Structures are given as structure tokens and as C-alpha cells.
A and B are shown apart, each in its own frame.
Chain A
Amino acid sequence: RKEVEQDPGPFNVPEGATVAFNCTYSNSASQSFFWYRQDCRKEPKLLMSVYSSGNEDGRFTAQLNRASQYISLLIRDSKLSDSATYLCVVNKNTGRRALTFGSGTRLQVQP
């Protein structure tokens, strides 16, 4: 089982739609969770951290479910500029001090 698993997509949605991505992680001791955005042939950029109580940043909402070991990202009122790959990221918190990146979910917002 991969440490961090994501549906690769692509998710094709019209402008204005609401779309949600889920990500599962295997290490129950993980403490830090993030969503990154990566545009084609560009570097990953931090979109938002994910907190236990859930958090919102404009049109983006992140949720954490520790019991089921998954995190989610909800995008409301999708824009063309939201088209990108969204990477789920979890810290290892054991031995090797590092972040583990999921393979990403590709979102294509269509006019």
C-alpha cells in the first residue's frame, strides 16, 4: 500500500462547479498535512495546510479525518485558473524526517 494515495483523475468540471478530492494516508502517527498545487511543468506550490478542525481559505476548504486517515480538499466555484494537479502531502513523523507526496489528482476546469 502506498503511504499516500490519491485518485489520479482527471476530474473534468465546468466553470462554477464544486469539486472535491480525497487522499488517504497509511501512517497513523502523521501530524502534518498539506495540499500543494502543481501546474504543468512547474514546481509544486503550497496551497494550504490542513488542520484537525478543518480550515478554509477563500473557495478552498480542507478537512482531516484522523480516524479514517484521509484528508480532503473542496474547491467551490471552480475557475479556469484552478486547472492544475493537486498533491496531497503528509509528514512521515517516524525515523526519516520528511514529507511524503501523493502522485496528485489532475483537475481540468472547462469553460
Chain B
Amino acid sequence: NAGVTQTPKFQVLKTGQSMTLQCAQDMNHEYMSWYRQDPGMGLRLIHYSVGAGITDQGEVPNGYNVSRSTTEDFPLRLLSAAPSQTSVYFCASSYGTGGQPQHFGDGTRLSIL
């Protein structure tokens, strides 16, 4: 039972590069979300989705894009990486439309040089 799977676990990028963080869940959850976690800041919501074909911005969406073509997958794209995007990224999913407890992937540690 995989739950929420994130890849890669670690990544180093140069400023200006683009990349996609992958997230997949096998629990048939409607709701999926991306957070970033920085020291002393807690988890901050980047983007979320309440179902296939539906996405919306969180509190820190700038510099990131998402799409939700299937229920299972919710990739996060960094368009042009900046050092300020160095962080730990977590993908999460849940039943319902956002008020239910979420299951987290084990994170992607991203460094932008």
C-alpha cells in the first residue's frame, strides 16, 4: 500500500533551470495539495486540487505551476528555479474537498544554487 509517493527525494538545481516534482497517490483521494516547509515558517500551501481538471492557488503560488489530468497524479513544476525556492516540498492527499486530515508523501528536498 504505497499511499502518497513523491519523486525525486533530493534534487539540486541551478538558478534558472526548470523541473517537475512528481506526486502520485493510490487511495483514490479527490483532494491533493503541495506545500513547502521552511525553517520557522511551518507548512505553506502552494497549490491544491479538489479533483481531476481542477486546480487552485494556495498562499505561495508564484513560480510554480500544477496540473491534475488524473485523480492519481499531481505534478508540481518549477518554471525558472530561484534560490528562494530552496525548501522541502511535501505533497498530500485526502478525501473530500480540503477539510479532512491529509496523508503526506515523504518529501522532496530541493536546493537551488
Contact = CB atoms under 8 A, between A and B. Distances in A.
Partners in one complex: yes
Contacts of B53: none
A44 B45 contact: no
A98 interface: yes
B100 A44 contact: no
Interface residues of B, number: 26
Nearest to A44: B104
B111 to A, nearest CB: 14
A102 to B, nearest CB: 6
A45 B45 CA distance: 17
Given A44-B104, A46-B101, A96 B58 contact: yes
A27 interface: no
A87 interface: yes
Most chain B beta carbons < 10 A, residue from A31, A44, A99: A99
Contact of A43 (B33, B42, B59, B107): B107
A93 B99 contact: yes
B85 interface: no
Contact of B100 (A8, A32, A92, A96): A32
Contact of B104 (A45, A49, A91, A96): A45
**5 tightest A-B CB contacts, nearest first:** A97-B98, A103-B42, A43-B104, A101-B43, A91-B99
24 contacts: A4-B42, A32-B99, A32-B100, A42-B106, A42-B107, A43-B90, A44-B90, A46-B101, A87-B43, A93-B99, A96-B48, A96-B56, A96-B59, A96-B98, A97-B31, A97-B50, A97-B98, A97-B99, A98-B58, A101-B35, A101-B43, A102-B42, A103-B40, A104-B42
Interface of B: 31, 33, 35, 40-43, 45, 48, 50, 56-59, 90, 97-107
